[in-house]
Structure 1
């Protein structure tokens, strides 16, 4: 029996070369994947119309449909739909453009229109370039065109495309979202139909054959041919039969299938793991060192706090921590471990045990650290964050207590309790999700007011950590953050230049730190790479600010020490690259 909470849809598509064309240059396709991919990626329907004036329009359309239905579903699960589709289409567009550029006549390349619908959870994501169209017939009977034709008119009779796949090196594609209701019908067609059949007729045929999408497609093609269509004709109908969205009671029941564990103590055994000691505890969770009874290997077990046993939003976030963390593979990020025999008793998840001390302890033990030692740690943290950002994951609670310094000097970023992943957020949840606030001194103040600044939030945290490390434990705003009640008060806080705490720090380096941890995200760096670059290279704009402190000679030493470290690191990277 079909689950009441599983997405289901009826799909039909027809394509015809028509009465005046020798070849059919249209292509259509759809895919409703299995459960795991359906939840993270959604269902897809696509129509591509090869441009007749292009030498390889047919090949472009067929290639576009094939690539969308394959490559989109291979993008990381945590990517948002928009990001995943845009990455897929950008690569496809470049491929089509390059194929066309190598043809004898470059003006006649691999060019096609593309109209794509992705239905994920309760939203439909629309992507469109060209003059094929996407319509929606709502469950309540409203019929609307959701895309606009990308054409320019030469005369009343003559039009030409101004956007299409493979037309240029840069893809300019329309993206939009609409909320989906059960019973909604999405209709996609090529201009061989809608140029000859008016919207009222299209609506009437689709509406009258709600229960038979294939018949609707057949009749629309037949209607267009009777009206004199001289082009290829493609019609695609996607009817949403069940959104698969859970009600609150069902959502809660699914999340609470495994009970919360009791307070654990040394010697207790569960699912093949023996508890050795409690590592850490807070109001929200506990960490225990456990030993795998089969391998003898020590791991860390994280358990939820019993205080939240009746809070489905908390439980969902706890479960999401493991799911998100398991999709990051980088030596600078703590590794999630899959339970050897599965979870059978209680709700928890496992991580590798990380030896060493926290960065918080390291800072306390190194009040005047060597610039090269600090630089190495900052670069490693940035590399770990970059690995997360590549998966569209934002840590949101980066602080010295969440960075481990290993015995060999390398680092690991730990704790996924506040991570944000757009792809996961797109999945419907009947409960209001918690807003991660992070830790006051290190987290972007915007979080406290419900504003997600994405990667800029992690840049802020890293800049504060860098400031603290280079100044021997000071913070850019001292203890003034605690007194702020409004966002404007945070914006008006006065930054304390780092060279006031340690005068060997040059002004250009301090200016990079200040821009990185600016409380106003609009004035902050847009990318992590840009921030790291300015820490490594004196920005001319910052040098203009200039100063000549008493410790000018020490400032020069600071820069020389850092320069030597950056150069040594670059040489090491080049040697490794050459060796491979």
Structure 2
């Protein structure tokens, strides 16, 4: 047994005639890598779903696997609560959205997760799964049941994927050597008493798998005696065999304690990386093109500005940026790279794209066809979609943050304002975007302190496409100049056809809708905008056109009224 290290023992047992139909799922993960184990700890999870759920097994397995995979992928500098909470919120949003595409089922699941790190345990709970602690002769339930009675049936009133937002119970407890934690589901209600748990576990505490089997056997026998269903029991035991003597370091700060790199110039080296070119210097960050002297790979290094040494809030988000990009797998989004050496300074690396910004591309290709420009627009839309699928907002879409390589492929960069969608009207996302700076392509809601969301990115995307097609902006008054909601009435859309006759009426209508000053009136989904861009040459049906077009254009409105009155007058003459 390694000295000065947290050591655990685990046992599990299922009671099910067909394991593939079991509606509960459970797992324990203890990282083999010592660095990850110190930083993230070990994790035990159990989930359970309703017997009336047609995809109960899939929902339970997905919630457990998804939590474990994403939790151990979070940055090492995050503490346990931050990591688990953000992962659960992202997983909840995905489960909630995917349930809309399932018939006779849903990805709703009760879930309890415990993270064992150092000399403490962290419990995260929602729904009606059960976690108990056995300490000596004391047997205590640590979770609360979130249940609603409807028509004689008991349903979880709080669970993963049940609503767009989620309320997570959190409990932090000190560990003692010999503590045993019991994970099970609501199926055991009415079958086992506390004395049954204590007796079954103490009978042979050295073999936790056998203890779980005994618990399952007792629960099955009691259920059969009382006429309950006896084929859906599961038990998981985790025992604390050894605690570390002293936590000498603070794993949650492994990267947060690293110093910010000094100003670098071409030719200087840091961590085996040689600076080739300074790509950007801003008040918040430094971006360099570097070469790994061992592998000869060219990469892009992004580091905080040296002036930000004491701005811990920004530094926390800076480290979040790397995690954001790592989670998104798309050829249209910049890739995070690993250095061949360990880091001694605070930065992260991305794949180098040999290309130019969209601003430079437009300047060098003034004669580019409409089809070429629309191809770039669709690629950019796919990049934004990849972020949205991970419940992320980009918030800084404009031509200088878009690269086009030598093959014409679009790569989206600059994640300084990228943020997970919040549950409080996206206040934190909006504040981050304002802190990093608004642009002429930012949606009006950022300037007016309104709620922001995916349709805000849609506006920025459409504004960038409008600029790409015309070289102009859709409104004379930019979002940065807005001071109040009354200013929105002054935003009059300028038809793209005024600046580029090649733009079809259908494409102009598409851009007009995506650029509506009112967020709720834009396309409901980004996929609708991309579909319209790909099929812009096809004639739109009248029912597909924006009915608000006539209200925004008084000339069209009164011409329509005059035509109707003339038709009525002609009919009255004919019927005399």
Alignment CA distance shift 1:231-1:377 (3 Å): closer
Q: Distance in 2 between matches of 1:335 and 1:44?
A: 31
SS in structure 2 opposite 1:148? strand
Q: Distance in 2 between matches of 1:48 and 1:458?
A: 35
Q: Distance in 1 between matches of 2:3 and 2:541?
A: 61
1:419 matched to 2:409? The reply is no
What is the 5 A alignment of 1:196-207? none
Q: Distance in 1 between matches of 2:357 and 2:18?
A: 70
Contact 2:66–2:91 (CA<8 Å) still a contact in 1? no
Alignment CA distance shift 1:419-1:386 (3 Å): same
Contact 1:41–1:73 (CA<8 Å) still a contact in 2? no
The Cα shift of 1:509 comes to: 2.4
Alignment CA distance shift 1:530-1:65 (3 Å): closer
Uncovered stretches (5+) of structure 2, i.e. residues with no partner: 75-86, 116-120, 134-138, 175-180, 241-248, 554-576
* TM-score (norm. length: structure 1): 0.65
Alignment CA distance shift 1:491-1:135 (3 Å): farther
Q: Distance in 2 between matches of 1:24 and 1:464?
A: 50
Contact 1:507–1:542 (CA<8 Å) still a contact in 2? no
- Structure 1 counterpart of 2:285: 285
Contact 2:328–2:387 (CA<8 Å) still a contact in 1? yes
* TM-score (norm. length: structure 2): 0.65
- Structure 1 counterpart of 2:29: 33
Q: Distance in 1 between matches of 2:107 and 2:253?
A: 47
Which of 71, 96, 111 aligns to 1:116? It is 111
- Structure 1 counterpart of 2:170: 180
Contact 2:43–2:68 (CA<8 Å) still a contact in 1? no
- Structure 1 counterpart of 2:495: 498
Q: Distance in 2 between matches of 1:174 and 1:240?
A: 34
The Cα shift of 1:84 comes to: 4.6
| 538-547 or 506-515: bigger deviation | 538-547
Contact 1:393–1:420 (CA<8 Å) still a contact in 2? yes
Residue-by-residue CA offset, 1:51-106 (whole Å, 9 max, x unaligned) = 8xx9xx9xx87777556544665579687121454588889x77x98xxxxxxxxx
What is the 5 A alignment of 1:127-142? 133-134=128-129
1:81 matched to 2:91? The reply is yes
Contact 2:458–2:526 (CA<8 Å) still a contact in 1? yes
The Cα shift of 1:308 comes to: 1.1
Q: Distance in 2 between matches of 1:240 and 1:434?
A: 44
What is the 5 A alignment of 1:71-470? 73=68, 80-85=90-95, 115-118=110-113, 124=124, 126=126, 133-134=128-129, 144-149=144-149, 152=151, 176-183=166-173, 189-191=185-187, 193-194=189-190, 221=219, 228-232=226-230, 234=233, 253-343=253-343, 345-364=344-363, 370-421=369-420, 435-437=432-434, 438-448=437-447, 453-470=452-469
Contact 1:217–1:237 (CA<8 Å) still a contact in 2? no
The Cα shift of 1:240 comes to: 13
Q: Distance in 2 between matches of 1:512 and 1:2?
A: 65
Contact 2:393–2:453 (CA<8 Å) still a contact in 1? yes
Alignment CA distance shift 1:41-1:419 (3 Å): farther
Contact 1:464–1:476 (CA<8 Å) still a contact in 2? yes
Residue-by-residue CA offset, 1:478-528 (whole Å, 9 max, x unaligned) = 244333234x24643413222474262444322321221223221222221
Q: Distance in 2 between matches of 1:445 and 1:337?
A: 35
Q: Distance in 2 between matches of 1:41 and 1:448?
A: 44
Contact 1:45–1:238 (CA<8 Å) still a contact in 2? no
Contact 2:394–2:419 (CA<8 Å) still a contact in 1? yes
Question: Looking at both structures, which has the greater relative contact order when contacts are Cα pairs under 8 Å and sequence separation is at least 6?
Answer: 1
- Structure 2 counterpart of 1:45: 46
- Structure 2 counterpart of 1:558: none
- Structure 2 counterpart of 1:103: none
Contact 1:126–1:177 (CA<8 Å) still a contact in 2? yes
Contact 2:26–2:47 (CA<8 Å) still a contact in 1? yes
Which of 510, 513, 517 aligns to 1:512? It is 510
Residue-by-residue CA offset, 1:382-412 (whole Å, 9 max, x unaligned) = 1222233333333221101101233443322
Q: Distance in 1 between matches of 2:107 and 2:333?
A: 42
Contact 2:430–2:452 (CA<8 Å) still a contact in 1? no
The Cα shift of 1:207 comes to: 13
Contact 2:357–2:403 (CA<8 Å) still a contact in 1? yes
Uncovered stretches (5+) of structure 1, i.e. residues with no partner: 98-110, 128-132, 154-158, 164-170, 242-248, 550-580
Alignment CA distance shift 1:229-1:137 (3 Å): same
Contact 2:442–2:479 (CA<8 Å) still a contact in 1? no
Alignment CA distance shift 1:224-1:11 (3 Å): farther
- Structure 1 counterpart of 2:545: 542
SS in structure 2 opposite 1:177? coil
Contact 1:123–1:178 (CA<8 Å) still a contact in 2? no
Q: Distance in 1 between matches of 2:369 and 2:271?
A: 46
Contact 1:82–1:125 (CA<8 Å) still a contact in 2? no
Alignment CA distance shift 1:368-1:140 (3 Å): farther
What is the 5 A alignment of 1:15-26? none
